[in-house]
Amino acid sequence: MDRGDTEKQARIRDRLTSRTTSSTEDIYFSIIKAKIRPVTTLLDIGCGTGHIIVQLAPLQQRTFLCGLDISPAMVRIARVRTKEYGNVSILEADGLNLPFADGSFDIVATRLAEFAPAEAYRVLRPCGLFFECGLGPESDKEIREFFSNRIIEENFCLPKHPNRWHDEIAAPVEQTGFAIDEATDHKQYDYYDGIDGVMDLIEMVPLVENFDRDIDRPIVEKLVEKYNTPRGVRITWHYYIIQAHRT
């Protein structure tokens, strides 16, 4: 059986990343971009459809970028997306068991994906940089409001301790031996394209138990009515970015 995201999730993610008005990636992307040098090797663990790699690829032709994902469906889409770049390689592999020698990369990045901090540490060269982007407790609060009794908590991967969540996310990184340079959290809105855009978001993760586009439509209509704006349906993204380096 395939691991990681399914074919359906991969298709929806691809559709959403090209259609949603998103500012959530901008900060993460610009932090990484600032660290890219002409001869950098970068690994993106759980690269999904490759939309972060595809933004970095044209910047430095001599930089080698590797995207890795466990889902064959994601890997297929990421390969198509990045095919014009000779400096990109997309691998189907497990983020918990990286198929690289020790010290292979200058930068390891991961965003909203399963990974093992010890493996990220191992494949980084000494003083190599690590970037992690994950979700903070207020993410998707509009969906929680309307589907409060059907939220699939484990798919949210939110911190378990809302009052001391900064410590919670830093602990595994520090315990591995990384030195944290900065940990920040950011609250922004993404704007989804009407009822269908919100339904895509719910199904992509998936966020809601037994979600059915027809049966649940009236609930989504109410959500859209409450949070619609001229830019689209406003959904909160709360995320953190950890910047660390291998000691």
Where on the chain is the footprint of ligand SAM (CB under 6 A)? 4-5, 46-48, 69-71, 74, 94-96, 111-114
Q: How far is the CB of 68 from ligand SAM (least distance, A)?
A: 6
Q: Which two tokens stand for residue 202?
A: 């719910």
Q: How far is the CB of 226 from ligand SAM (least distance, A)?
A: 26
Q: Which is nearer to ligand SAM, 130 or 224 (CB)?
A: 130
Q: How far is the CB of 38 from ligand SAM (least distance, A)?
A: 25
Amino acid identity, position 39: V
The residues that bridge with 124 in the sheet, in sequence order, are: 105
Q: How far is the CB of 190 from ligand SAM (least distance, A)?
A: 12
Q: Which is nearer to ligand SAM, 95 or 117 (CB)?
A: 95
Q: Which is nearer to ligand SAM, 67 or 224 (CB)?
A: 67
Residue 180, number of CB atoms within 10 A of its CB: 15
The answer for residues whose C-beta is within 8 angstroms of residue 39's C-beta and 6 or more apart is 62, 63
State the greatest distance between any 2 C-alpha atoms of the chain, in Å, as a whole number.
54
Measured CA angle at 243 (ends 242, 247), to 5 deg: 125
Q: Which is nearer to ligand SAM, 206 or 228 (CB)?
A: 206
Q: For residues 158 and 165, what is the distance between their CA atoms, to the nearest angstrom?
A: 9
